[in-house]
Structure 1
């Protein structure tokens, strides 16, 4: 894996967006953390075995383009492109953060998740023990 050094990440600009290009984002600096989520909502929204996110402070992310929003939980909002349906980002009203899907970045191999959430829903064929694991949500 080609993971950049911490000092390079601190000043780097990482761009990405939806599949059709109608929505774009620019994240500056190093994310606060990166994770894999196995919750049923992430699985269904991504149409995959899990969602993977780089979590940035809201002020470190600029966005452009129109989005539709779905309130996926009491404090969770998922934003997606109304043209192609791609997941654009996720946010919680209780945190000043933006969860950007790792697969939406233009670059690959930049962010490596350090923990996994909702492992009770993890597919049994996925490897275990590669990073910190939580049966449900991560303690804050």
Structure 2
């Protein structure tokens, strides 16, 4: 079964499409992700570059791409994957459950671990 996910920035100037399911989903509580999202964590999904297409002009700062019109943080494109901020999907990603939580040493004490997700004190290479 093939799934297609579509998303955009808040103003719609940048639109993207993801074909198929992500190979990883998670939450990141690191300082950079907090600053980028303006929230307590980033909820993300990783797809292969060949599963990703984008229309519109976006701006990139230190690897993170966003809409230059409305400022919505959208994705990070690297050679081996595209990390998408799942909050930018058009439809709520109810089936995309985080399988990892990174930088849990910075997780707010009132947030509980995601049941069944790998817990990593810092990056994914540092399990608890």
Q: CA RMSD in A?
A: 1.5
Aligned length: 124
Deviation of the 1:132 alpha carbon? 1.2
Residue in 2 aligned with 1:3?
A: none
Alignment of 1:65-104 (within 5 A): 65-71=56-62, 77-92=63-78, 95-104=79-88
Which structure 1 residue ranges, 4+ long, deviate > 3 Å from structure 2? Answer: none
Deviation of the 1:88 alpha carbon? 1.3
CA 1:129–1:56 in 2, change beyond 3 Å: closer, same or farther? Answer: closer
Deviation string for 1:5-37 (max 9, x for gaps)? xxx4xx111100111100111000011110100
Deviation of the 1:129 alpha carbon? 5.4
- Tell me if 1:29 matches 2:13: no
Aligned equivalent of 1:61, options 30, 42, 52: 52
- Tell me if 1:52 matches 2:38: no
Unpaired segments ≥5 residues, structure 1: 1-7, 72-76
Deviation string for 1:73-114 (max 9, x for gaps)? xxxx1001000000010234xx51000111111111131111
TM-score normalised by structure 1 residue count: 0.84
Unpaired segments ≥5 residues, structure 2: none
Residue in 1 aligned with 2:120?
A: 134
Residue in 2 aligned with 1:112?
A: 97
